Amino acid sequence: MALIEKIRQIVSGRALEQVLQQMSIRRKLQLTVSPWLVGMGFIAVAVAAVSLSVQLRLARLLPQLADNPAVYEPLQNLRAMQATAAIGLVSVIVLFIIIGSVNAITLSRQISRAVDSLYQAATKLGSGNLQERAEIYGSDEIAVTARAFNAMAARLENLLNSLEQQVANRTRALQTIAEISRRITTILNLDDLLAYVVNRIQQEFGLYHVHIYLLDDKTDDLIMAEGSGQVGRQLKARAHRLQVGEGIVGTVAGTNKYFLSNNVYAVLNFVSNDLLPLTNSELAVPLRLGNQVLGVLDLQSESRRRWSMDDVSLMQSLADQIAVAIENARLVDETQTALKQINRLNRRLTRQAWQEFAAEADIVGYRFQAGNSIPLQDASAGWLPAMQDAVRQRQVIQPSPSPEATDATELALPLMLRGQPIGALSLKRAKEAPWTPEELEAVETAANQIALALENARLSQEQEKTIVKLKEVDRLKSSFLASMSHELRTPLNSIIGFADILLQGIDGPLAENAATDITAIHNSGKHLLALINDVLDMSKIEAGRMELSRKPLSIVDVFAEVAASVSSLLVNKPVQLAQNIAPDLPRVWADPLRLNQILINLVSNAIKFTEEGTVTLGAERHTADLLYIFVKDTGIGIPQDKFELIFEHFRQVDSRSNRKYQGTGMGLAIARRLVRLHGGDMWLESKPGSGATFFFTLPLARPEG
């Protein structure tokens, strides 16, 4: 409405400006009448002056001509006539002035009144009063202008009223679209959603028919999912469908673009429907979710020229909201279906698990009486009739007391778990104390808690059985690996030994190609032997059969042996091996073979992942009982989220098959477990691109004596 007021002010203001530009009549009247009156006054004064001059001249001449009667008398008569003529002319001029002034004043008042009326009307029009009209006086130019002004005001009023109606209709349409959009977000059932949409659109916009087609994922056809009114129900009952590209609806689904026709009979691909004979105009918009078309919203009207581009934007916006609501309803339906399947599966698994548990159990129940618990081993003895009824009907049973039962009242409840009965609870007490609703509620709560407790007990027992089985499987796996590793090492050592003999030339010289092949066999055999040794070591550690032969060791001597062992890895590589050992370090209490294995694994890894730079072996006193050893490199580094992963066997930071750095992924896992067998621990510090430092601790050897 603010927009309408602004337009009203602009248009009426311009109309006022045009009228006032043309209506300067009062000023023109003043400029026309005033000079006329002044001119007439000047004429009267001039005539009077001439008459006076003539009279004066005659007055001077007449005394001189008194002696000449022939001249004196005519002049005397001329003087009298001139005086009379002057008096008459002046009188006529004065009369004319009086009459002209009266007419001018009358005309001025009439013109002023007409102009004032027109001015007042234009002023009110300019202030926004479009019902104001000017009064019409006479039939002159001002009256014609007033009529034109009134006609202009009437057209302006009609134009703004039409514009106000259009804006009101547009506002109402937007409000309806917004209300429908809000409502459909709360409808989770697809059928209810579609029915609400088509019926609401038809009612609110006064349409002949509205229906929604959805794409069938299996056939790619358009199925009429919902339609308004009786015709919609008939088409839905027929399972009415269209192919993509068929008719207006099929074209929209195929092109993902709207289709508008204000005369469907002029459209070549229009497919008429015998149930909708009065359709004259049609608008179809795609139901799209992103770039995916879910279906088509089709709107039909009995009127021609029903649709405009404003309708297209409104309905496309609504169609997009409908598409989102349809997808949400589908997801909810799929979720509910999945939950139902899960619940059915849970009930079946629960039933099977408890059947197996009951079949293996020695005790099927307990009877509690007078503070004593009596285990029941026979199901027939424990299941009372009321308990059987409670399980069968899955509800609380209060059997009617029999004549024999004069001193007790019975209550039976099923023990329910995931909607499946797993047992029953029966209670008896004195007959004169009936069960109150509060007591029944408390007993039902207790029954639910008992069911959960029984399930937890069963799961705990199942878990214990699973743990035992897993331990046995792990033991068998370790034994198998240890056995297989031993069986593999014997022939592999022979292969490596014979290859070494051939390479030394003991059996004679080798051709160049043969030497190359045997070298490859020798190296591959050593690599495989190292892998088998790692597997055997891991199996021994996991099986708890790794034994350590400890003795006091000098860390300086250990570092020297390690440096000699890895020297071949530094050949032709711009990496230096350095040592940083604190002075006067005490000896460590360790297995020399395993300590060498730990350090060689760490140093080999550091050299492998360092393209250029330094690998440093270091040691210093950590505590009174522990030595602090580290291996630091300037290599590629390790992300923090991979710190624990690299200590798992067969795991590496880069697990791709075509990774740059090859390896089995067991060295660090074995090294950490060996350190922990010694009573120490291993950890690391690293950042990608800044190298890595592996730390571990070892116990110090006790002083001799």
With tokens 């291996």, the residue in question is 631
Separation in Å, CA 380 to CA 384, 388, 421, 458: 8, 11, 17, 22
Q: What are phi and psi of 351, to 5 degrees?
A: -60, -45
Query: CB within 8 A of 565, min separation 6: which ones?
Result: 596, 600
Q: What is the CA radius of gyration of the chain?
A: 58
Amino acid at 69: P
Identify which of 564, 662, 679 has the alpha carbon closest to the alpha carbon of residue 625.
679
- 663-702 burial by CB neighbour count: b if 16+ within 10 A, else e? eebbbbbbbbbbbebbebebebebeeeebbbbbbbbbbbe
> Which uninterrupted H or E stretch holds 6?
helix 2-22
Amino acid at 299: L
pLDDT of residue 210: 92
Instruction: Pinpoint the alpha helices (H) of 511-574.
Output: 512-543, 555-566
Query: CB within 8 A of 247, min separation 6: which ones?
Result: 269, 270, 271
Helix axes 190-205, 309-360, angle to 10 degrees: 160
pLDDT of residue 662: 46
> Which uninterrupted H or E stretch holds 327?
helix 309-360
Identify which of 315, 322, 325, 309 has the alpha carbon closest to the alpha carbon of residue 284.
315
Contact yes or no for 121/137 (Cβ under 8 A): no
Query: Mean pLDDT per segment of 10 residues, for the chain of length 705 residues?
Result: 49 49 48 54 63 64 62 65 67 70 66 67 66 65 71 71 63 78 83 88 87 87 89 87 88 90 84 86 90 90 86 87 88 85 81 77 76 73 78 82 58 85 82 77 88 86 85 74 68 80 81 83 76 73 78 93 88 91 91 91 90 93 87 90 74 46 67 91 89 93 70
The dihedral through the CA atoms of 437, 439, 443, 448 has a sign that is positive
pLDDT of residue 23: 47
What size, in residues, is the chain?
A: 705
pLDDT of residue 360: 74
Helices (H) and strands (E) in the chain, counts: 15, 17
- 531-552 burial by CB neighbour count: b if 16+ within 10 A, else e? ebebbbbbbbbbeeebeeebee
pLDDT of residue 574: 92
Q: How many CB atoms lie within 10 A of CB 607?
A: 18
Separation in Å, CA 162 to CA 159, 165, 260: 5, 5, 24
Separation in Å, CA 22 to CA 27, 128, 146, 514, 518: 11, 21, 11, 118, 117
pLDDT of residue 543: 67
Contact yes or no for 680/692 (Cβ under 8 A): no
CA-to-CA distance for 273 and 503, rounded, in angstroms? 92
Separation in Å, CA 353 to CA 357, 447, 455, 462, 466: 6, 19, 10, 10, 14
CA-to-CA distance for 367 and 353, rounded, in angstroms? 23
CA-to-CA distance for 661 and 529, rounded, in angstroms? 19
pLDDT of residue 247: 87
Query: CB within 8 A of 191, min separation 6: which ones?
Result: 226
* DSSP-assigned states of every residue in 687-699: -TTS-EEEEEEEE
Beta bridge partners of 633: 615
Identify which of 703, 553, 570 has the alpha carbon closest to the alpha carbon of residue 629.
553
Separation in Å, CA 644 to CA 91, 144, 537, 650, 655: 132, 100, 20, 13, 15
CA-to-CA distance for 261 and 270, rounded, in angstroms? 10
